[in-house]
Amino acid sequence: MQLLQKINDPAISGEERLAALREYAASHKAPVVATGESNNHIHTIYSFSPYSPAMAALKARDAGLDVAGSVDHDSIGAAGEMLDACEILGLGAVVGFEVRASFKDGPFADRKINNPDSIGYVYMTVQGIPRAAFGRVDRFLQPIRAERRRRTEQMTTDINVILQKASFRPLDFERDVLARSQAAGGGGLTERHLLAAAATSLIETCGKGEALIAALQQKFGLKIPATVAAWLTDADNPHYLYDVLGLLKSSLLDRVFIQPDEKECIPATRVIEFAGKIGAIPAYAYLGDVGESPTGDKKAEKFEDDFIEPLFEELCRMGYRAIAYMPPRNTVEQLRRVQALCARHGLMEISGVDINSSRQSFNCPELLQPEFRHLNDTTWALVAHQALVSVDSGLGIFAANSPWAALDLPERLARYAELGRALDCSDIDNSVNREIERMRGE
């Protein structure tokens, strides 16, 4: 247990967590048979998550995943540790970041696209980032993090008005909010840090159970779904903080949310251009009309489905190379439509589930269904892409000088997937160099 605590300790260095992981892995083999699944969208403590990068990799291995990928908000801070942790565990690894970006200069400036909180701003990811580019990525994201910190501090002031009116102690931004993040080490700061601080204050004041439920209903006017009420009634619920946080996100955040500006949400075309310069893949994050949110933190709401065809045309015009989506979040009908549009427009499909709560499973059994099995292949293609561009930027999936550039995208992805599976994930650098020599000899 002590080693597991060190592996997941946010207060120590990544090197110390990795040392603990090496010691743990030497005597604890994977407890389950590999499932063939993957997840390219795991959040870590470098945005908001219960898991350090090392622990996220370990949880992925113990769930039977073949590939684990870290994607943090406004941060590449987890990436080095994630790559090293996956190599220790023999997993394929993919790293990237997620940002909110502006569509204000295009035809969807006045639409709510895939962002529940804002009009004209979208969520997007940049994935398959080579290790040599991490410093450059961090410098690119620093101004975005600074703007988000400023806005989060303003929202802390606003939520304090609500807390004090309801007779709860106000939050101290530095102590209660900022200290929950890895901002000092290049981590992002999100609304979840603020809401986690508020949830902690509520739990400390009311305790767990009926008193807290009553306070949320009577003092804050929140409507609590029956499922969430049952969770909050259980004082032994190990996910209690995350369940309160999810309720606050879906029902209270809009009272204090301050809209970002284009200093924080820079034009999407700038992010796309930057991704191209570092050999990474820019992806639009498909949300789709939401029914029941699997994490309980999103309201039922309509997003891009009503205008998805012209949206895809615009995405291609802007230079997006991929669509990222989460199979558990959408209906099969929604995703078949997305898949057909990706095929029509030559866009790569990238899957993943944004792990940011201890209640969430690392498994995504949907990937084992026939209509989604190809997503495991594209994940291995992404593993190969990242490994190759770490050595030579001209070897990426979408590079003009790629040895398979003349192939259509499905055939190209199949070649990269085959190469990704051939790599020795426990010795990735030597393995990829051997594969490059073999490729050049063909």
Task: Write the pLDDT tens digit of every residue in 88-147.
Answer: 999 999 999 999 999 999 999 999 999 999 999 999 999 999 999 999 999 999 999 999
Split into its structural domains, the chain has a count of 2
Strands 322-325 and 281-285: parallel
Residue 170 lies in a domain: yes
Q: How many helices (H) and strands (E) does the chain have?
A: 16, 7
Residue 196 lies in a domain: yes
Same domain (yes/no): 61, 134: yes
Same domain (yes/no): 79, 156: no
pLDDT tens for each residue of 176-227:
999 999 999 999 999 999 999 999 999 999 999 999 999 999 999 999 999 9
Residue 3 lies in a domain: no
Of the residues 205, 233, 256, the one at which a domain ends? 256
Burial (Cβ within 10 Å: 0-12, 13-18, ≥19) of residue 221: exposed
Query: Would you place residue 368 in the very low, low, confident or very high pLDDT band (cuts 50, 70, 90)?
Result: confident
Same domain (yes/no): 190, 159: yes
pLDDT tens for each residue of 323-353:
999 999 899 999 999 999 999 999 999 999 9
> Which residues make Cβ contacts (< 8 Å) with residue 111, sequence separation at least 6?
119, 120, 304, 307
Same domain (yes/no): 414, 305: yes
> Can you give the pLDDT at residue 294?
46
Of the residues 222, 241, 256, the one at which a domain ends? 256
Same domain (yes/no): 344, 298: yes
For residue 84, the SS3 value is: helix
* CA 43/CA 139 separation, integer angstroms: 20
Identify which of 52, 38, 137, 59 has the alpha carbon closest to the alpha carbon of residue 96: 137
Same domain (yes/no): 347, 362: yes
Could you tell me the CATH number of the domain that includes residue 44?
Answer: 3.20.20.140
Residue 203 lies in a domain: yes
Expressed as residue numbers, the domain containing 365 is 11-142+263-441
Same domain (yes/no): 170, 294: no
Residue 388 lies in a domain: yes
SS3 annotation, 122-149? EEEEEECCCHHHHHHHHHHHHHHHHHHH
Residue 324 lies in a domain: yes
End-to-end alpha carbon distance in the chain: 49
Of the residues 239, 256, 273, the one at which a domain ends? 256
* Burial track 66-95 (b if 16+ CB lie within 10 A, e otherwise): bbbbbbbbbbbbbbbbbbbbbbbbebbbbb
Share the mean pLDDT of the chain.
94
